[in-house]
């Protein structure tokens, strides 16, 4: 296949922005292009230069006047909860018992798992998300469905089988031994296959016995290149219950620390009600706190304190947390993130939002050499965003004069309608046509 030249207003971050005017944190080409060959980026910059590099036999996808950015990254969500979004009225533990532990039982059936996995990947892509870190259900067949659907679309996805051996319905419980064996087998099957990465996934301290935590620690020690994902300090009743189950632990964080689960590849959902001691442990170990604003508001869990994380030098990422999260859209997620931080007197500049959805999350996953920014050698996972996708956006954009304003309009008013195209390893997934060869005006 001939090379592909993606033309548009190209934006990519090179480091974390320090304020709303930090133009050195990104590269922007008003008439720019990204050259793609064999799924990788081979050229990037002003259109004229990149077109020269490309030569004659190239397909051109002209997306002007839209923005061309790295594909968006979602660092925490639950694929078996796709049909449980918008489950009414409860806080975390009641919500899990009433809705989620019922829904997840359906994933015992491979056909159901395959159907939802396909729809889940398509939903991510229509929202411009090209990489996500997901929990599957306790059933190994749900993990097979998840990675098969990702592979079919050639998406870089991270996921794993939830382990839980108590405080859940019998039909959703594994045992320390089966949780270990099945996880081991799934790692061998899927980790490093195509673009798949495995996340060792003890659901949270409440649903794992000390024996299962022990086995999770063994899995982490045996597979240091795998991710670890779990939940930490989301809800006050959850914290009281978790710490009552582990009376020897200093606090909730210490439960995970004492089983060797904290490291630079550990993603901890929520981290809302942590003590200074706990945040210091996250900073020391490099574990990542994952901010899930729509979920935290929806379940009434609380407000993530980003500035406190920063003061401690602790790492954080952003995520939807579907199905407690109420949208697959990272744009809508950052709109809510802005409001959650605003309520606490903290600022989230549009530059910082777009940094977080791309390079920031890629760094949290230690995958920034491959995804999260547009650079030569990176995987060609790319999103094209239309800042005028809705009439109200078009009207608002008539009076926008800076890139920062445009990004803020996208974040505040945008959703899947703003995603004009998404490329996975250089392949257009929404189907916009590329012209072959020659000059385009």
Q: Which residues bind Zn ion (CB under 5 A)?
A: 269, 321
For 95, half-sphere exposure in the C-beta direction (CA atoms, 13 angstrom radius) is 22
Least Cβ distance, residue 96 to ligand GUN (angstroms): 6
Residue (53 or 87) nearer to ligand GUN, CB: 87
Looking up tokens 């081991």, which residue turns up?
184
- Of 138-197, binders to ligand GUN (CB under 6 A) are none
Residue (233 or 418) nearer to ligand GUN, CB: 233
Under the criterion CB under 6 A, does residue 321 sit at the interface with ligand GUN? yes
Q: What is the DSSP string of 253-319?
A: HHHHHHTT--STTEEEEE--S--HHHHHHHHHHT-EEEE-HHHHHHTT-----HHHHHHHT-EEEE-
Residue (101 or 400) nearer to Zn ion, CB: 101
Under the criterion CB under 6 A, does residue 74 sit at the interface with ligand GUN? no
| Residue 332 binds which entry of ligand GUN, Zn ion, none, CB below 5-8 Å type-dependent | none
Under the criterion CB under 6 A, does residue 107 sit at the interface with ligand GUN? no
Q: What is the DSSP string of 68-112?
A: EEEPEEEEEEEGGGTTTSS--S--HHHHIIIIIHHHGGGGGSHHH
Under the criterion CB under 6 A, does residue 100 sit at the interface with ligand GUN? yes
119 touches 150 (CB < 8 A)? no
Dihedral sign (CA 174, 177, 178, 183): positive
Under the criterion CB under 6 A, does residue 329 sit at the interface with ligand GUN? no
Least Cβ distance, residue 24 to ligand GUN (angstroms): 37
Residue (66 or 316) nearer to Zn ion, CB: 316
285 touches 263 (CB < 8 A)? yes
CA-to-CA separations, 271 to 30, 75, 235, in angstroms, rounded: 39, 14, 9
DSSP 8-state assignment for residue 379: B
Under the criterion CB under 6 A, does residue 78 sit at the interface with ligand GUN? yes
Among 234, 368, 386, 421, binds ligand GUN (CB under 6 A): 234
Least Cβ distance, residue 321 to Zn ion (angstroms): 5
236 token code pair: 């006050």
DSSP 8-state assignment for residue 400: -
Per the document, the length of the chain is 441
Instruction: Considering only the stretches 92-100, 194-202, 217-225, 416-424, report the one whose residues sit in contact with ligand GUN under the rule CB under 6 A.
Output: 92-100
Residue number of the CB closest to Zn ion reads 269
Residue (151 or 303) nearer to ligand GUN, CB: 303
Residue (321 or 332) nearer to ligand GUN, CB: 321
CB-based burial label for 248 (10 Å; 0-12, 13-18, 19+)? exposed
| Distance, CA of 167 to CA of 163 (rounded, Å) | 12
How many residues at the interface with ligand GUN, by CB under 6 A? 11
Residue (155 or 268) nearer to ligand GUN, CB: 268
Under the criterion CB under 6 A, does residue 26 sit at the interface with ligand GUN? no
The binding site for ligand GUN (CB under 6 A) comprises 78, 92, 96, 100, 203-204, 231, 234, 295, 321, 324
């Amino acid at each position: 296949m001939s090379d592909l030249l993606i033309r548009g207003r190209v934006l990519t971050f090179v480091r974390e922005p320090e304020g709303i005017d930090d133009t050195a944190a990104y590269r922007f080409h008003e008439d720019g292009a990204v050259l793609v060959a064999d799924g990788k980026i081979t050229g990037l910059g002003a259109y004229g230069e990149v077109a020269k590099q490309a030569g004659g036999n190239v397909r051109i996808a002209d997306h002007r006047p839209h923005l061309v950015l790295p594909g968006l990254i979602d660092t925490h969500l639950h694929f078996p909860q796709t049909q449980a979004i918008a489950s009414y009225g409860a806080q975390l533990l009641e919500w899990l018992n009433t809705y989620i532990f019922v829904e997840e039982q359906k994933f015992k059936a491979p056909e159901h798992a395959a159907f939802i996995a396909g729809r889940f990947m398509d939903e991510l892509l229509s929202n411009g998300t090209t990489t996500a870190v997901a929990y599957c259900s306790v059933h190994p067949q749900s993990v097979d469905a998840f990675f098969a659907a990702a592979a079919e679309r050639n998406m870089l996805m991270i996921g794993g089988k939830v382990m839980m051996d108590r405080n859940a319905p019998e039909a959703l419980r594994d045992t320390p031994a089966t949780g270990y064996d099945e996880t081991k087998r799934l790692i061998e099957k899927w980790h490093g296959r195509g673009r798949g990465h495995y996340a060792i996934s003890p659901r949270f301290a409440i649903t794992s016995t000390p024996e299962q935590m022990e086995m999770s620690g063994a899995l982490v020690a045996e597979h240091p290149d795998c991710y670890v994902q779990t939940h930490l300090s989301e809800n006050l009743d959850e914290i009281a219950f978790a710490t009552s189950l582990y009376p020897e632990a200093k606090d909730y964080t210490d439960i995970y620390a004492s089983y060797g689960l904290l490291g630079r590849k550990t993603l901890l959902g929520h981290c809302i009600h942590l003590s200074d001691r706990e945040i210091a442990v996250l900073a020391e170990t490099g574990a990542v706190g994952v901010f899930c604003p729509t979920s935290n508001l929806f379940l009434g869990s609380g407000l993530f304190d980003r500035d406190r994380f920063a003061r401690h030098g602790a790492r954080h990422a952003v995520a939807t947390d579907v199905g407690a999260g109420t949208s697959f859209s990272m744009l809508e997620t950052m709109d809510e993130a802005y409001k959650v931080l605003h309520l606490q007197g903290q600022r989230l500049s549009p530059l910082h939002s777009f940094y977080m959805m791309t390079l920031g999350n890629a760094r949290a996953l230690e995958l920034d050499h491959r995804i999260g920014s547009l650079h030569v050698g990176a995987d060609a996972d790319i999103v094209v965003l239309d800042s005028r996708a809705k009439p109200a956006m078009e009207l608002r954009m008539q009076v926008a004069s800076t890139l920062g304003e445009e990004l803020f309009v996208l974040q505040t008013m945008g959703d899947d309608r703003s995603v004009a195209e998404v490329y996975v390893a250089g392949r257009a997934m929404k189907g916009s046509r590329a012209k072959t060869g020659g000059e385009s005006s």
